[in-house]
Amino acid sequence: MADKKRILIVTQEMKPYTTLSQISEIVREYSQYIQENGVEVRILMPKFGTINERRHRLHEVVRLSGMNINVDDDDYPLIIKVASLPGTRMQVYFLDNEEFFKRKQVFKNEKDEFFEDNIDRTIFFCKGVIETVKKFGWAPDIVHVHGWMTSLLPAMLKTTYQNEPIFQNAQLVYSAYHVEEANKSFAPNFTEKMAANNLSEVVDAYLKDGVLDLNAGASKFSEGTIIGLEDVSVENITEPILPYQSELSNRYLEFYEELLGATEENV
């Protein structure tokens, strides 16, 4: 890139901390790749109870911790921890809360059932990301989000938080992966949850023929969408779209440049 751009990566998982799906490997490899190609990168993810703090050398960032995040009119304290990603010069910031993340499972209980409060955990995480970046005072050029747990972040940034100065020039990129299980879990009370968190206006974007599609909504509120896995459907995805990339390449950086260039042309 012509000058050193700031890329904020928000993900629900990343190797070596949380490895549940291909997302963890993709984010780990791609983040290092773009950082080594002249981009400034910061990574935010949930601090699940399965992450060993001692082994991965996490420590609390006191100046960033102590905020309360509102979910359904209840306040939940946000704790921020940080670690250096092994083999890189990147910092990973972990968002923690005892109510939502301390449990020793990630998304499912011992019976392999999706946690009923995963939608609340998603809302907490997405709001927490926004408040953490505000505390950073670090304005990203690109906000690139990965996984269904980040799927409400583009909508929040384009509605409730649209006037936040730190994000004013940021382009949003959504990587689409499999969201079928989350769609099914969130659907029964999605409209109610959005209303309780001042997001009623985004509901229609996430519903296709009355059926919840988190990929569709997140894509609608993003400047660009990347197909994260080969078998992810592009149906209901809003253009511009970067097709699935089987190997790391400059195509990611070129896609960023195209989005940033389009913005500059419209100024």
Which letter does DSSP use for residue 144 in this model? E
Q: How far is CA 242 from CA 30, 127, 206, in A?
A: 15, 27, 20
pLDDT digits over 53-68, tens only?
999 999 999 999 999 9
Residue 147 backbone zone (phi > 0: left; psi -120 to 50: alpha; other: beta): left
Mean pLDDT, residues 186-191: 96
Q: How many CB atoms lie within 10 A of CB 64?
A: 18
The strand pair at 40-46 and 67-71 is best described as unpaired
Mean pLDDT, residues 83-93: 93
pLDDT digits over 120-177, tens only?
999 999 999 999 999 999 999 999 999 999 999 999 999 999 999 999 999 999 999 9
**What residue spans define the domains of the chain?**
6-260
DSSP string, 12-43: S-BTTTB-SSHHHHHHHHHHHHHHHTT-EEEE
Mean pLDDT, residues 8-32: 96
- CATH superfamily, domain at 6-260: Glycogen Phosphorylase B; (3.40.50.2000)
Contact at 8 Å (CB) between 50 and 106?
yes
Contact at 8 Å (CB) between 233 and 178?
no
pLDDT the model gives residue 84: 94
Confidence of residue 267 (pLDDT cuts 50, 70, 90): very low
Contact at 8 Å (CB) between 44 and 132?
yes
